[in-house]
Amino acid sequence: MQTRFEGEYLSATARTLALIAVLAAFVVMAEVNIWATFTELAVWEESLATNVLVAHEGSASAYRKALTDGFLLFFFSASAVLFLRWLSRTARNARALGAVGMRFGPRAAVGWWFVPVFHLWKPFQVLKELFQASHPKYLDNWRQAPVPRLLSLWWALWVAFQVTVSLSLMADFLASSPDQVYMAAWGSAIVGVFAAPLGVAAAIGSWRLRSLQRARARCTAPMRVRQPWPTRSQSDRALLKGSPS
């Protein structure tokens, strides 16, 4: 298969660094949220043991839990937006770096995350294809490129996170007794257990893919410069000069 370059390669470094920064805040807040959840659980355990229902909604533990929940949701939403922007850039870069015959375009790479049921495996296929198409040692035969084991762990954590969030929200919504509220709080703690390693895996995975595309850009820069383009991107001029970006 002949290598063909579609569009210009634009470094994803800035988007990757922004994503990692927000993911770091998400991981920290997930740990804080676990602490707040266990503090709240201690209050409920005392109430259940003494058969005395404390003024829970106005307690300091409830306030801390609500506050950390809000911050966790904010950083999760911010990281989701930045991740999709990063994904769109890397999907375009894969074609700009000579990967011919990819199944998923930039729009599909983003869109599959919003399709019910299919979002459980289609985005994994998108990421797998991106890692293969970005490998610097497999140009024409990129489909034979290896996929890092981290991707499977990353995806397993993401699915587990989705399932635990859904179950936790359902339990919290249906809770009608102190015992049920107590069990729902445990569900929130389990969500935090999956959230922290998920954020770490996403940060490492995004940087790994960025590094693969950067190395592939160095390998293909001379070929892409010879191709008749309307303009030559600043990223490629920097690559030819050997300067980092």
Please report, for residues 80, 81, 111, 126, 180, the alpha-carbon distance to residue 118 in angstroms, rounded to integers and kept in the order given: 18, 20, 10, 12, 32
Whole-number pLDDT of residue 231? 43
Please report, for residues 41, 139, 238, the alpha-carbon distance to residue 169 in angstroms, rounded to integers and kept in the order given: 17, 45, 49
CA distance 208 to 132: 12
Domain extents for the chain? 13-239
Helix (H) or strand (E) holding 29, with range, is: helix 13-50
Which pLDDT tens digit goes with each residue over 116-175? 999 999 999 999 999 999 999 998 899 999 999 999 999 999 999 999 988 887 877 776
Whole-number pLDDT of residue 80? 97
Which pLDDT tens digit goes with each residue over 198-242? 999 999 999 999 999 999 998 887 666 555 444 444 444 454 455
